[in-house]
Amino acid sequence: MTVRYFAGARAAAGRSEETASAGRSLDELLEELTERHGERLADVLTVASFLVDGVTCHDRRAPLPTGATIDVLPPFAGG
């Protein structure tokens, strides 16, 4: 699957996009991403919203679809 980072999440991960192994839930994916990138990204992930194939993810324990695109959206400032 593809993970795309936006704004502060991109800065914390040090990249705009990466791949991750399939067959897991969003919570499991976030654990993997925290292990890869450390506490700076972990802090962002605790306040971020997530889109799975363009749809807001409400059940973080549900299996993610094979080949999904996960968008990591930290809170945005502005108006």
pLDDT bucket at 21, cuts 50 / 70 / 90: confident
59-76: pLDDT as tens digits: 999 999 999 999 999 987
Please report the pLDDT score of residue 78 as a whole number: 56
Kindly state the greatest CA–CA separation across the chain. Answer: 38
Mean pLDDT over 4-28 rounds to 95
Place of tokens 């990249």: 15
Please report the pLDDT score of residue 22 as a whole number: 85
Report the predicted TM-score, pTM, of the whole model to 2 decimal places: 0.92
